[in-house]
Amino acid sequence: MTPPTTGLPAENTTDDNDHLVQSDDPEHPANLIPSLCAKFWTLGWVTGTGGGASIRDDDLVYLAPSGVQKELMKPSDIYVLSLAAQAQSLSRRQRVYLRSPPVYKPSQCTPLFLAAFTKRNAGCCIHTHSHWAVLVTLILEQQGSKEFRINNIEQIKGFGKGFQKSGNLGYHDTLVIPVIENTAHEEDLTEFLEEAMDKYPDTYAVLVRRHGVYVWGDNVHKAKTQCESLDYLFQLAVEMKQLGLPWITDIEPTIPTRKD
């Protein structure tokens, strides 16, 4: 990926910083967010302008705006924000954008994406309204549970072991995803998301009851892989529930005969 310019070059200080979202490189965050979101739309993750995605490149954060049809988004619709500048801001609730699109308003997801970037050093965060995620939170609600737990499914290997740990989860490991309750205003989820991050330091995702899921990763590749793997597991979990199959089982490891 061609590194996008960080901060404001002298010759651009008077303009609207549109250069921050202009690149011929398909891997540039301003191009990648629209192409990713178009793909997510076909998966049913960002229906009806719901959901979104954000990419961090060093100090710069690229954000899909509010209310945009995700399969039609353009690079010129993207917001850009500096983490350093934001940290110096007097209010957590007020955000200063280096670059704003001419039409759309900022997404209410912004502080949640920022939490993944600042608290977990994530490089990408994806928010979906996948109905598999929503159904899992509803099934857990009936059980009075605030954790999604599943083990002994191969796809669990799609997740990293945790924050600043190397390697991935194993087949026999239990994947645990915390569930937080939804709030009337999406921004208000931030403190609960951060609480969940503190309580579950190794999680790469937080489910939001009756709403969807936030998934992050060290980079776009890892965030997308973890989000796909999680959606796969949510779908499987709902289908297992319909068939009366438990999500957690106690399986004795199969030991191969080491031949060489």
Catalytic residues: 154
| Closer to a second copy by Cβ: residue 12 or 192 | 192
Say whether residue 74 binds a second copy (CB under 8 A). no
Q: How far is residue 59 CA from its own chain's centroid?
A: 18
Contact at 8 Å (CB) between 114 and 156? no
Q: Of the candidates 69, 100, 118, 219, which one interacts with a second copy according to CB under 8 A?
A: 69
Give ∠ CA 213-67-72 in degrees, rounded to 5: 95
CA-nearest of 50, 39, 225 to 134 is 50
Query: Within 10 A of 255 (CB to CB), how many other CB atoms are there?
Result: 6
In the block, which residue shows the tokens 């719901």?
50
124 belongs to an annotated ligand binding site: no
**125 annotated ligand-binding residue:** no
Q: Find the largest Cα–Cα distance for the chain.
A: 69
Query: How far from the centroid of its chain's Cα atoms is residue 84's Cα?
Result: 21
Cβ–Cβ < 8 Å for 192, 94: no
The C-alpha atoms of residue 119 and residue 87 are separated, in whole angstroms, by: 12
Does residue 19 have a known ligand-binding role?
A: no
214 neighbors 205 (Cβ within 8 angstroms): yes
Residue 76 binding a second copy, by CB under 8 A: no
- Nearest distance from residue 171's CB to a second copy, in Å? 5
User: What does 199-219 look like in DSSP terms, one character per residue?
Assistant: HSTT-SEEEETTTEEEEEESS
- Give dist(CA 239, CA 221) in Å, integer: 27
Residues 96-115 touching a second copy, rule: CB under 8 A, are none
Q: Does 208 bind a second copy (CB under 8 A)?
A: yes
Q: Is 44 in the site for a second copy (CB under 8 A)?
A: yes
What is the nearest approach in angstroms of a second copy to the Cβ of residue 155? 6
* Beta carbon of residue 31, minimum distance to a second copy (angstroms, whole number): 14
**Window 156-185: residues binding a second copy (CB under 8 A):** 157-158, 170-172, 181-184
Nearer to a second copy, 60 or 81 (CB): 81
Distance of CA 132 to the CA centre of its chain: 16
50, 59, 83, 200: residue in contact with a second copy (rule CB under 8 A): 50
- Total residues at the site for a second copy (CB under 8 A)? 65
Least distance to a second copy from the beta carbon of 120, Å? 19
Give the three-class secondary structure for 115.
helix
Q: Site residues for a second copy, window 133-152 (CB under 8 A)?
A: 134-135, 138-139, 142, 152
118 near a second copy, judged by CB under 8 A:
no
User: Rule CB under 8 A: which residues touch a second copy?
Assistant: 44, 47-50, 67, 69, 91-93, 129, 131, 134-135, 138-139, 142, 152-155, 157-158, 170-172, 181-184, 186, 188-192, 208, 210-212, 221, 224-226, 228-229, 231-232, 235-236, 238-243, 245, 251, 253-257, 259-260
